[in-house]
Amino acid sequence: MRAISASRTALPKVQNPLLVFLERMKRNWSGVLLIAVVVGYVAFLIITPITALALGAFEKGLGASLSALNQPEIFSSFWNTLWISLVVVTVHAIFGTIVAWVFVRHRFPGRDLINGLVDMPFAVSPVVAGYMLLLLFGRNGALAPVLESLGIQVAFALPGMVLATLFVTMPFMIRELIPVLEAFDTRQEKAAATLGASGWQTFWRVTFPALRWGMIYGVTLTFARALGEFGAVLVIGGGVQGRTETATLFIYRALEERQYIGAYSASLALGLFSLILVLGSDWLRRKRH
Amino acid sequence: MNLQTAITPTSKKQTTSLPWGQWSIRSIALGYLAIMLLIPLLIIIQDGFREGLAEFWRQITLPTAWHALKLTLWTATVMTLINTIMGTLTAFVLVRYDFPGKTILNGIIDLPLAIPTLVTGVMLVILFGPQEVLGSWLKEQFDFSVMFAPPGIILALLFLTFPFVVRSVQPVLMELDRAQERAAATLGAEGWTIFRRIILPPLTLPVITGALLSFARAIGEFGSIVIVAGNIPFRSQTAAVYVFGEVESENRLGASAVSIVMVAIAFGLLMLANYLRKRRSKKETV
């Protein structure tokens, strides 16, 4: 009995995976070279800058970074960013779902062209996006008389910044939901309808649960992109300190004013926040599979 | 199966007659897109051509504007070339080799999508800034400056667009049938020949799509470039930074004209990428 179990444990030799890898690679030099080139490139292009930011933020010690972050203007700018991002995510969660739904389920003339148009914010410069809104809502803008008579200020105020962020984050939710909707088996909906469910009930109880994960991922991508938006909110918001300054606009101003520790620490905080968001939802998604 | 064939015709009839609920949802979707996308795009076109075609042309051929556009295009081209080669190589290594740390490497590819571009700029400033260790060393030893110069722009763009080619090529490479390669090897083909003749042809479309997306994304980049390259006309001022400057100095016509050029390039590239993607999916279904 004992002899058998001993021989069993001895059979699959416990080997260091690194050694196994090296052994295999001894026979494949071109493979080693390719892996080395790719790892080296990624280390240089992506890892080094991220490490530099972490080191730069703590250059003068943790205390200095924390006290640089502990300023009222940082709080108000991060608060603006968070507020704008939350509004943007909510709007896209609703309208993005509707748009994706119409694209997948409806056929109408011009569908391909409009489908291509949805990707435009991905390639249109954020500066141009902000400028477009300025042409509409600015002092001499096309809608200026209407806005003035209603007493609403859009440019150089939070509503304009929300609109700008809505524009630049447009594709994420829609592009995340379209494949999910396309893969969804509509027979489930038909079955629900046969059983007497109303259209709204069918959507809420059958379709929506299937969309949930696409929505979660779309929301995190939109949120991460909204947090980091800079060019568009700079142009339409003007970056008025304490009023229309977002986290990115604060970082920009801090750099200009040579408050390096503050700029680096705020960059690290913002970068980490959006990384955690995206990696967290990635992890959730992988856990589900 | 029987049930499905029985149901399909009636449901088709439903979508052609469109009950009011369907109509309203469609108009909400299209109205939303029209307000959010179409009107802003149209207003800028109207504004740029306000004084006629000749004035539009004069605005974009002003020396500073022209130089900014040229700089944007050539830095984006250099970036796209490097990114296409390295991105394809990265996808190849990720799909074909097993090595320790592969999962981590695969995760790192997406990091640039999660990091605000302004923060990317800050990272490069910390690395290559004139007062920083690496930046001053490069300047002294090789008289090579990354900051406030085209290399900084290219580096920032490479960082931002790294995932595009990799993520476009990777899934196609994963689905390739390796029997063909083995057959080629049995017939005496060498590694490089196999790569060029067997592996590369089906990758052409995804590689081009990824390259187009990288290029389109690069044309409009602002956040990282304004920090890394600054705003020096004739040297490091890209089109997006130029537009920003013209907006600030209230030169509406100049800003609109250069914006239109950028929007037109972006639109053309996206339409081409969409067309290629569609052709690819058609090929797959046939």
Which CATH number does the domain housing residue B191 bear?
1.10.3720.10
Percent of chain A with pLDDT over 90: 51
Total number of domains constituting chain B: 2
Query: Whole-angstrom Cα distance, residue B63 to residue B52?
Result: 20
Q: Which of B281, B234, B117, B278 is nearest to A224 (CA)?
A: B117
Q: Is residue A2 part of a domain?
A: no
Residues B151 and B32 in one domain: no
Q: Is residue B135 part of a domain?
A: yes
Residues B94 and B188 in one domain: yes
Q: Is residue B37 part of a domain?
A: yes
The answer for A 78-107 residues in CB contact with B (under 8 A) is 95, 98-99, 101-103, 105-107
Asked if the Cβ–Cβ distance from A132 to B239 is below 8 Å, we say no
Q: Which of A68, A234, A250, A160 is nearest to B231 (CA)?
A: A234
Q: Is residue A114 part of a domain?
A: yes
Residues A90 and A191 in one domain: yes
Residues A25 and A114 in one domain: no
- Compute the Cα dihedral for A261, A266, A267, A272 and give only its sign: positive
Residue that is written with structure tokens 């509004």 in the block? A87
Q: Which residues of A touch B7 (CB under 8 A)?
A: 187, 190
Asked if the Cβ–Cβ distance from A38 to B90 is below 8 Å, we say yes
Residues A53 and A156 in one domain: no
Q: Which residues of B touch A275 (CB under 8 A)?
A: 111, 114-115
Asked if the Cβ–Cβ distance from B223 to A231 is below 8 Å, we say yes
- Compute the Cα dihedral for B138, B142, B143, B145 and give only its sign: negative
pLDDT at A14: 61
Residues A133 and A264 in one domain: yes
Q: Is residue A5 part of a domain?
A: no
pLDDT at B163: 95
Asked if the Cβ–Cβ distance from B270 to A123 is below 8 Å, we say yes
Our measurement of the distance from residue A271's CA atom to the centroid of its chain's CA atoms, rounded to an integer in Å, reads 11
Nearest-neighbour CA in chain A from B171: distance (Å): 15
Q: Is residue A65 part of a domain?
A: no
Q: Look up the pTM and report it.
A: 0.88
Is the predicted pLDDT of residue A28 greater than 60, yes or no? yes
Residues A35 and A171 in one domain: no
Residues B120 and B39 in one domain: no
Q: Is residue A209 part of a domain?
A: yes
Tell whether B170 is within 8 A of chain A (Cβ). Answer: no
Give pLDDT tens digits for A70-91. 889 999 999 999 999 999 999 9
Q: Is residue B14 part of a domain?
A: no
Domain of B44?
A: 20-49
Residues A32 and A150 in one domain: no
- The residue in chain A having the minimum alpha-carbon distance to the alpha carbon of residue B95 is A35
Residues B41 and B111 in one domain: no
Instruction: Give the pLDDT mean for A130-159.
Output: 90
Domain of A46?
A: 15-57
Instruction: Give the pLDDT mean for A22-48.
Output: 87
List per-residue pLDDT tens for chain B, 286 residues long. 333 434 444 444 444 456 777 888 899 999 999 999 999 999 999 999 999 999 999 999 999 999 999 999 999 999 999 999 999 999 999 998 888 889 899 989 989 988 999 999 999 999 998 777 777 788 778 878 888 899 999 999 999 999 999 999 999 999 988 888 888 888 888 878 888 888 888 899 999 999 999 999 999 999 999 999 988 889 899 999 999 999 999 999 999 999 999 999 999 998 898 888 888 777 666 5
Residues A218 and A277 in one domain: yes
Asked if the Cβ–Cβ distance from A135 to B38 is below 8 Å, we say no
- The residue in chain B having the minimum alpha-carbon distance to the alpha carbon of residue A121 is B37
pLDDT at A156: 92
- The residue in chain A having the minimum alpha-carbon distance to the alpha carbon of residue B263 is A124
Tell whether A159 is within 8 A of chain B (Cβ). Answer: no
pLDDT at A62: 87
Residues B69 and B192 in one domain: yes
Residue that is written with structure tokens 């389920």 in the block? A105
Total number of domains constituting chain A: 2
Residues A245 and A145 in one domain: yes
Please measure the distance between the N-terminal and C-terminal CA atoms of chain A and give it in whole angstroms.
Answer: 41
Nearest-neighbour CA in chain B from A212: distance (Å): 20
pLDDT at B18: 61
Residue positions counted in chain B: 286
Query: Whole-angstrom Cα distance, residue B216 to residue A124?
Result: 8
The whole-chain average pLDDT of chain A stands at 88
* Local confidence band at A132 (pLDDT 50, 70, 90 cut-offs): very high
Contacts of A221 (CB under 8 A, 6+ apart): A172, A173, A176, A278, B113
Residues A134 and A275 in one domain: yes
Nearest-neighbour CA in chain B from A11: distance (Å): 24
Instruction: From residue A124, give the alpha-carbon distance in Å to each of A114, A132, B84, B270.
Output: 15, 11, 21, 10
Residues A130 and A47 in one domain: no
The answer for B 128-147 residues in CB contact with A (under 8 A) is none
- Name the phi and psi angles at B188, rounded to 5: 100, 15
**Nearest-5° Cα angle at B160, B157 to B163:** 125
Is the predicted pLDDT of residue A4 greater than 60, yes or no? no
Reduced to 3 states, what is the DSSP secondary structure of residue B24?
Answer: helix
Asked if the Cβ–Cβ distance from B223 to A126 is below 8 Å, we say yes
Contacts of A284 (CB under 8 A, 6+ apart): A216
Inter-chain CB pairs, A–B, below 8 Å: 247
Query: Whole-angstrom Cα distance, residue B263 to residue A119?
Result: 12
ipTM of the complex: 0.87
Instruction: Give the pLDDT mean for A167-173.
Output: 94
Q: Which residues of A touch B44 (CB under 8 A)?
A: 128, 131-132, 135
Tell whether A41 is within 8 A of chain B (Cβ). Answer: yes
Query: Whole-angstrom Cα distance, residue B130 to residue B179?
Result: 54
